[in-house]
Amino acid sequence: MRFNVIKDGIKQPLLGSNPIVANPEKGKLHISWLLDSGKSKLVMNIDEKNIEIKVEGDDSLKWFLDLTAPAKKEKLPYRTIKKNKVECEFQGADYSIK
């Protein structure tokens, strides 16, 4: 997965400085990434069950995660891929990306 942005109608990689990673409490991870525009930061809050990703600052930023698969026909964990949800199974655990 890669973070991308639509800028002037063109897909481009989302760029920024080095992310700041913090462990505010046991089992939680907080990542803050100041983007090159200086107007926004990408924030990720991660725990054992959830990942929350949001951009704070510039509301007009049209960002997205770009999912690509390898060219080889390897077994991938994806069961179904829909417009707003990807359902997966990995090492016996079910999970989804919304």
Residues 33 and 75 in one domain: no
Is the pLDDT at 90 greater than 90? The verdict is no
Residues 23 and 51 in one domain: yes
Residues 18 and 62 in one domain: yes
Query: What whole-number distance in Å separates Cα of residue 86 and Cα of residue 98?
Result: 7
Could you list the residue range(s) of the whole structural domain that residue 55 is in? 2-66
Nearest to 46 by CA among 59, 63, 32, 35: 32
> Percent of the chain beyond pLDDT 70?
93
Residues 38 and 56 in one domain: yes
Residues 23 and 50 in one domain: yes
Is the pLDDT at 73 greater than 70? The verdict is no
Q: Which amino acid is at 73?
A: K
Mean pLDDT for 17-44 is 92
Residues 51 and 92 in one domain: no
